[in-house]
Structure formats: C-alpha cells, structure tokens
Amino acid sequence: MKIFKFGGASVKDAASVKNVTNILQSEGTESTVVVISAMGKITNAFEEVIDAYYNKTDKLSEKLGVIEDFHKSLMSDLFDANDEIYKEIDILLGELSWFLARNTSQRYNYVYDQIICFGELLSTKIVSAYLTKIGVENNWFDVRNYVKTDSNYRDAKVNWELTQDIINAKLDASKLNITQGFIAANDTENTTTLGREGSDYTAGIFAYCLNAENVTIWKDVPGVLNADPRVFEDTTLLRQISYEEAIEMAFYGASVIHPKTLQPLERKEIPLLVRSFINPKEPGTRISKGSDLEPLIPCFIVKKDQILVSISALDFSFMVENNISYIFQKLHEYQLKVNLIQNSAISFSVCIDNKFKNFDAFYTDLKKEFKIEVQKGVDMFTVRHFDDKAIESIEEKGTSLLTQVNKETIQIVLATN
C-alpha cells in the first residue's frame, strides 16, 4: 500500500492534471491512496467567498463566479461538453449554494469549514473523472466518511481509534483510491478541517491506519531543501534526513512538511518521500529512522509577518509563574501560535503567528493587566546546525530585535530592511 499526496500546485491547470495522471500510471495504480488538495490558489478564492459571505458584502456572487469559471474552464480542456463530470460539479456547487442560503450559524470557524471543503471535493471529482476518461479505474470517496475528529473547527483533532476502524472496514486497499486532504467530519457529520496545509497530515493518517509501505508528497521542488528557494538564492537538496530532524524543521516552520504529518509515520517507521512532480524520475528526499541522517549543513527556516510582543507588569514587578501562566492562558484562548519565548526578570517576550486574526482582541484584553509593547510585521529566522557564516547571512537582512540560541538552533527575530 502506497500513499500519494498532491498539493494545489500539482493540479493548478489541465496540463498539471494530465501530469498527475501520468505519474500515477508510471508509479503503478494498484493498492494506492491518492490525497489531493484544492486546485491552484482555489483555497484562497474560497476564503474570499467566506469573507464576503460572513461580512455580508455585495461581492459574494462575484467570488463564487470566479470559482465556478476556474473549474469549468479547466474542465473544458479535459472533457467533452456532455461528459457526466459537469453534472457532478454542478451538484457540488448547488450544495454550496444551499449551505449559503440556509446557514444560520454565526460561528466563523464553523462557517469556514463548511465552505472551504468544496475546494478539495471539486478537485478530486475532476481528477477522478479524468482518470476514468483515459481508462484508469479508480475509486473516488469522500474522506469525511473516513477521517473522524472532534468539533474544534479549523484545527480539529483526529479520533484515531474510530478513524482506523472505519478505514480498515470500508476501504478497498487493492484499488487506486482518490480522496481529499485537509478535511474531515465530526460525530454530527459536520465538516471539520485539520489546519491549513493539512493534506499532508491526511496522507499520514491513511498511512498509519493502513500500515502503508511509504508516503510520497509530490512538490514543485526537488525535495526537502536546506532553505526556501523563494527566500534564499543558494539551496541544497537534503537527500535523506531522520524523522527527528524533519520534525524539528517542521516545528520551526519549514513549509515543505506539515508539522503533524511526521508523528504518525514515525510511530510505525513508515518512510516519507518528498519528490518533484516536475521531475518525477528523481528520487527526492527520504525521511526515515536513523540518528545518522542529520544534515551536515545549516538549514534555514523563515516565518514572515510575525508579531513580536513584550509584556511586563504595570508596577514593574517580577514576571513570575502566575503572570506567565495567565499570559499563556490568554494566548491559548485567542488561538495565537507561539513560535519563540524569552523572559527576563521584568518582561516576557513572545513571537507569535496571528493565523486566526485574533491578536487585536488579545491585546485589548491583556493591556488591562500589563504593559505591552508590540512590533508587527517582523520576520523570524531559524537556523538548524548554524555556523558563524549562517548567522551573518541572516543578520544582513535587517535589524535584530531578539536572538535565542541553543546547541543546535539559533532563532533571530528581525525587522527587515
């Protein structure tokens, strides 16, 4: 059993869909689960629909039209005008319209998950239909009937026991199976999501439950690089790394791997392969067990548009356990992801990711009890296996606001030039 995951860039247009089908035919289509994301930038387009709907703007119809036009234009290059897939896509778009017309919930995260899921449903229907059209037998299924979670919308936690029971009972593991990443369902059959970029995690879930031979994530890069090529000019392909190193890199924000993906794979020692859908014959990167697989060069990770917050008591008293505990409670309450912590006698600094746009409410709440200094729009650079040259290359990019060093890793928060 093999698990493949194709992201949005790999199915961004008709030529890309054909490339995916060529890869599947080349790799073999038996005993394979293929997890596919929404096409291209369609998740972003659906977020615009959500904002227009939730904020009751007059742009909703226009935003919906962009999504429909994109998919049907792509389909016109793959199918005949009377093919059945057009009816299936119209049914899905009709279900979306029905939800928009009938929903009464004011909970943003709930609304988000019920709408955003259509990106994955549309893309997998199209890929599955094209495979069928060219004679590749496959089984499309709705992942929400297999992966079950709690009701923590936008960041749901998997019910592993129930999910494994369902997958083992219902999935025909001998076939080529096409399904969605990122989405799941709770015990009331409402859609949940596993966090942005969660399609990698979906692949990990199926691999764990099916005791897969391996998982392959197909990317538009040669494999896991020591730095993001969009930020750094010179990068090096890491041919093999350990689970531990990959988890460290993912924790610090390496975008090529979702942080949750590796944990279920490591538990069953299932290798993770990161390969290029542009050059599918290349071996890419292998992530597996082994303490001798750490890279021997510095690895750079950057998280942009962070918020650096320095918090101190109004009376300049020490920042002790009860202060810090209260602050963490508020960070959790407002869903603010902490990427770096540093404290002194009278101040506590955190670099945070405002993923859910709750920072302003957090600030308003906390300033009643503390003095707060804020610097928005900073970048946080993490260097694994750093050396002096690596540190110098980061510090040249801006003004250092905060630095934290341990044996293997340095983190520098910069106000960039």
Q: Which residues are annotated as a binding site for substrate?
A: 43, 120
Residue 225 DSSP symbol? B
Query: What's the rounded Cα separation, in Å, for the pair 19 and 16?
Result: 5
Q: Name which of 261, 74, 75 is nearest 182 in CA terms.
A: 261
| Cβ contacts of 2 within 8 Å, gap of 6 or more | 27, 28, 31, 32, 33, 212, 213, 214, 215, 216
**Which H helix or E strand runs over 306?**
strand 299-313
C-beta atoms surrounding 170 within 10 Å: 10
- Residues near 252 by beta carbon (within 8 Å), at least 6 away in sequence: 301, 303, 339, 382, 384, 409, 411
Q: How far apart are CA 250 and CA 10, in angstroms?
A: 21
CA distance 48 to 50: 5
Binding site as annotated, residues for ATP:
5-8, 230
User: What's the N-to-C CA distance of the chain in angstroms?
Assistant: 49
Beta bridge partners of 376: 307
**Please, which residues bridge with residue 402 across strands?**
413
Q: 272-276 and 214-219: which strand pairing?
A: parallel
Closest-CA residue to 202 (of 38, 329, 383)? 38
**Residue 20 token pair:** 């995916």
Catalogue the long-range contacts made by 142-146 (C-beta closer than 8 Å, 24 or more residues apart): 142/179, 142/180, 143/35, 143/179, 143/180, 143/181, 143/183, 143/184, 143/202, 144/117, 144/180, 144/183, 144/184, 144/185, 144/189, 144/191, 145/170, 145/185, 146/170, 146/171, 146/179
Q: Which residues are known binding-site members?
A: 5-8, 43, 120, 230
Q: Is 61 helix (H, G, I), strand (E, B) or coil?
A: helix
